[in-house]
């Protein structure tokens, strides 16, 4: 990384957790990712979800068709794990380079997770095969048991699943604890072996639960896992600022139309991609840890996945910007509101 007080040039980053959706939403949101990131791990929670190599190939083609002509963006596809996933299908997809990873959603934990896993015994054969072939498992780490308080679901998942049996029974399995939101998550990953990593979103580094709920309810700050109390946000900021290579960039950018968020039962998800890299830069600067920014954004993820880092660079300058307003979804008579829309940022991307 080359830095001056007013300029940061880093190897081009990747986004290790991204929702791109499909159809006009896909073509609306993808250019924002392609403008900054070399690759992204694309979440499979479409309706219906992406569960086979054939579906992943077809979805990858739709994504590539929507990539702007001046971009080399590469989508990395994931397989949605269900109670019926066939280990042979997973292995075939991995060996053929179609699937980069498998995504585990506990059933009903989050948006479009109805096809997720209902009983852990149903996935043991798949996990054993993935451990054997070195294929990463990406985990939405929230217990979906309705008796568990929503703010305790990540901690409960760590206790009941990750610590209790998964890391014990499959000690070599590569696991990414996605979008961590708690000190428990950060501690678990820090203390685990190098086969366990975590993605951290920009929003969980910036907002706490007060931001969602004080002075009025803010649907555009609602996502899952929900932001926790301030001590947890501080723990996440310290985790990324420590330079520990287990933590890497994953925006969990999850666009929903304004209509679907500002309603009686609004969807979970924050669309943060237009400004995510600038928000991360601000956080590292506030933590006096800019020397670790590039590894978090551009090296720790590829190292975990056993891939080369990108070769191009991305440059940010200390240029004030106002975050863009609502982005229209063509033909939908609706729009998507970016995270922190209308607020001001001290860094701007000036070039790839």
Q: What amino acid positions are annotated as catalytic residues?
A: 252
Which of 27, 100, 111, 208 is in the footprint of ligand NCD by CB under 6 A? 111
The answer to whether 38 and 14 are in contact (CB under 8 A) is: yes
Contact status: 55 vs Zn ion (CB under 5 A): no
Strands 344-345 and 321-322, by their bridges, are antiparallel
Contact status: 110 vs ligand NCD (CB under 6 A): yes
Which of 143, 252, 278, 294 is in the footprint of Zn ion by CB under 5 A? 252
Minimum Å gap between C-beta 253 and ligand NCD is 9
Please tell me the count of residues contacting Zn ion according to CB under 5 A.
Answer: 1
Stretch of residues binding ligand NCD (CB under 6 A), selected from 110-118, 152-160, 243-251, 291-299: 110-118
Residue 292 or 337: the one with the smaller Cβ distance to ligand NCD is: 337
Instruction: Check residue 288 and report its DSSP letter.
Output: T
The answer to whether 323 and 258 are in contact (CB under 8 A) is: no
* Interactions with ligand NCD, residue window 19-38 (CB under 6 A): 19
SS3 of 330, please? Answer: coil
* Interactions with ligand NCD, residue window 191-230 (CB under 6 A): 223-224
CA distance 34 to 38: 7
SS3 of 243, please? Answer: coil
What Rg, from alpha-carbon coordinates, does the chain have? 19
The answer to whether 292 and 242 are in contact (CB under 8 A) is: yes
The answer to whether 155 and 231 are in contact (CB under 8 A) is: no
Which of 192, 212, 213, 268 is in the footprint of ligand NCD by CB under 6 A? 268
CA distance 101 to 108: 21
Stretch of residues binding ligand NCD (CB under 6 A), selected from 109-117, 120-128, 232-240, 243-251: 109-117
Contact status: 45 vs ligand NCD (CB under 6 A): yes
The answer to whether 202 and 251 are in contact (CB under 8 A) is: yes
Residue 203 or 237: the one with the smaller Cβ distance to Zn ion is: 203
**What residues make contact with Zn ion under the rule CB under 5 A?**
252
**What residues make contact with ligand NCD under the rule CB under 6 A?**
19, 45, 110-112, 140, 223-224, 252, 254, 268-269
């Amino acid at each position: 990384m080359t830095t001056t007080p007013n300029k940061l040039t880093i190897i081009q980053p990747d986004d290790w957790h991204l929702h791109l959706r499909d159809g006009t939403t896909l073509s609306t949101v993808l250019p924002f990712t392609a403008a900054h990131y070399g690759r992204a791990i694309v979440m499979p929670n479409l309706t219906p979800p992406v569960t086979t190599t054939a579906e992943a190939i077809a979805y990858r083609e739709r994504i590539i068709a929507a990539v702007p002509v001046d971009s080399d963006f590469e989508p990395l596809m994931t397989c949605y794990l269900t109670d019926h996933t066939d280990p042979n299908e997973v292995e075939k997809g991995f060996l053929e380079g179609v699937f980069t990873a498998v995504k585990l959603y506990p059933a009903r934990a989050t948006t479009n997770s109805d096809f997720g896993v209902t009983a852990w015994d149903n996935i043991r054969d798949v996990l054993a095969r993935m451990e054997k072939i070195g294929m990463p498992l990406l985990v939405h780490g929230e217990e979906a048991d309705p008796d568990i308080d929503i703010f305790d679901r990540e901690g409960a998942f760590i206790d009941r699943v990750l610590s209790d049996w998964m890391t014990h029974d499959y000690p070599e399995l590569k696991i990414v604890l996605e979008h961590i939101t708690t000190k428990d998550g950060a501690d678990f990953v820090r203390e685990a072996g190098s086969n366990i990593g975590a993605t951290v979103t920009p929003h969980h580094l910036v907002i706490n639960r007060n931001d969602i709920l004080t002075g009025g309810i803010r649907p555009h700050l609602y996502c899952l896992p929900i932001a926790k109390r301030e001590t947890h946000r501080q723990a996440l900021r310290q985790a990324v600022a420590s330079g520990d290579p287990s933590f890497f960039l994953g925006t969990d950018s999850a666009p929903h139309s304004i209509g679907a968020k500002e309603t009686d039962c609004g969807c979970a998800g924050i669309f943060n991609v237009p400004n995510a890299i600038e928000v991360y830069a601000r956080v590292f600067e506030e933590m006096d840890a800019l020397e670790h920014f590039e590894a978090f954004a551009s090296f720790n993820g590829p190292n975990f996945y056993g891939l080369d880092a990108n070769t191009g660079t991305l440059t940010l300058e200390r240029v004030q910007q106002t975050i863009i307003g609502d982005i229209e979804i063509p033909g939908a008579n609706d729009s998507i509101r970016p995270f922190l829309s209308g607020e001001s940022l001290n860094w701007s991307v000036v070039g790839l």
